[in-house]
Amino acid sequence: MKDLRHTEFYDLHVALGAKMVPFAGWDMPVQYPMGVMKEHLHTRAAAGLFDVSHMGQVILRGPDAAQALETLVPADIVGLAEGRQRYALLTNEQGGILDDLMVANKGDHLLLVVNAANADADVQHLAQNLPEIEIETPTGRALIALQGPKAEAALAALNPAVSDMRFMDAIDLDLAGATCWVSRSGYTGEDGFEISVPGTMALRLARVLLENPEVAPIGLGARDSLRLEAGLPLHGADITPETTPLQAGLGWSVGKARREGPRAGGFPGADIILGEGQIGRTPKLAGLRPEGRAPMRAGTQLFETEGDAEPVGEITSGGFGPSVGAPIAMGYLPARLTREGTKLYGEVRGKRLAVAVSRLPFHPRSYKR
């Protein structure tokens, strides 16, 4: 087995008592001594600091970088203003999702943040399809996320300019002596920031933030339950190369300018994705609330009745929602069964347990728009 990679914060995680696990080739903290449940609730009540340095940071340079990227994603990149960030999808010819990513317009370049597990494949895909664009993968930069209602105050103590940022702003700011690439975004449903910091300055920034009593280190375990409660899909689970944007409820990320007018289409799978119109293909991703206390995990088969032999769908993400105080899940179902309140059965340890289709998100998002 290949050696696991360490982020700049590895020694800090160990010193903080983190339980480390392999994740997409990295040795990452799944939880700290506080535990997943308290870490989750702390992030919703105060502020959580996440090491997300395993995610891929990619820079695209060149005067036509936005037009070029539009040949690979259905999002409106040309219309993205400087200092703003947008959610986008890399699609394949079948209209499936190769990865989901953030794209920021940094003036003379685009900054992409992609999933750790797909980073190498994404860079290869970009390089192969955009030969005229200069692609840079900045080495030695760490990435942290500061999330929760106290995140703004904690970061404003280092630079008050962060308070002027709104959701999806992406600018350069000085923090603890380092020039950081800061965006007001995250993967928890909370207000917060994602901060790319030079590796040599990363530990110092983390330590300064952790000195704030409102800020606690949070592991990947709580990151997963936070995003699930916020109804945010996970690539590789809820969205894959086999699911289209509309199936996953991500039709909103297809830019209006990419649906009609001179820049319509032109991305892989455009005929399929634009052909889905407003109805879309079945199955569709839906929120699910098990009626009992037993969590229904990824892979749980869903049945229309207690006795049916054939499943109608499958859970793609599931677990316990600490803020909801109950099990929650997402899964794919025929469109006819995705109406809120529809009662189905999930098979857990050979038993058919009741589960109801629920609105997403399970926990309200609190972005500062």
Tell me how far apart the alpha carbons of residues 209 and 362 are, in angstroms, rounded to a whole number.
29
Would you say 84 or 297 has its CB closer to other proteins?
297
Whichever of 39 and 194 has its CB closer to other proteins, that residue is: 39
Cα dihedral: 168, 174, 175, 177 (round 10): 160
Give the shortest CB-348-to-other proteins separation in angstroms: 9
- By the 10 Å C-beta count (0-12 exposed, 13-18 middle, 19+ buried), 109 is classed as middle
Query: Cα 259 vs. chain centroid, distance in angstroms?
Result: 24
Give least dist CB 294 to other proteins, A: 5
Nearer CB in complex with other proteins: 156/294: 294
C-alpha pair distances (Å), 310 with each of 38, 294, 305, 306, 314:
39, 22, 10, 11, 11
83 and 137 in contact (C-beta within 8 Å)? no
Choice between 40 and 235, CB closer to other proteins: 40
| Least distance to other proteins, CB of residue 19, Å | 9
Q: What is the torsional sign of CA 152, 155, 159, 161?
A: negative
Q: Which is nearer to other proteins, 283 or 327 (CB)?
A: 327
Q: How far apart, in whole angstroms, are the C-alpha atoms of residue 80 and residue 83?
A: 9
Minimum distance, C-beta of residue 221 to other proteins, in the bound complex (Å):
6
31 contacts 18 by C-beta, under 8 angstroms: yes
Nearest to 187 by CA among 226, 245, 144: 226
Which of 352/368 has CB closer to other proteins? 352
DSSP state at residue 163: G
2 or 293: whose CB is closer to other proteins? Answer: 293
Between CA 343 and CA 352 the distance in angstroms is: 12
- Whether the CB-CB separation of 62 and 134 falls below 8 Å is answered with yes
Q: How far is the CB of 220 from other proteins (least distance, A)?
A: 11
Q: Shortest Cβ distance from residue 293 to other proteins (Å)?
A: 5
Residue 82 identity: E
Least Å distance between CB 300 and other proteins?
Answer: 11
Measured from the CB of residue 320, what is the shortest distance to other proteins in angstroms? 4
Is 250 in contact with 233 (CB distance < 8 Å)? yes
Our measurement of the distance from residue 230's CA atom to the centroid of its chain's CA atoms, rounded to an integer in Å, reads: 10
Give whichever of 168 and 220 is closer to other proteins, judged by the CB atom: 220
Instruction: Compute CA 201 distance to the chain's CA centroid, rounded to the nearest angstrom.
Output: 25
Residue numbers at the binding site for other proteins (CB under 8 A) = 30-31, 35-38, 221, 225, 293-295, 297, 319-320, 322, 327, 349
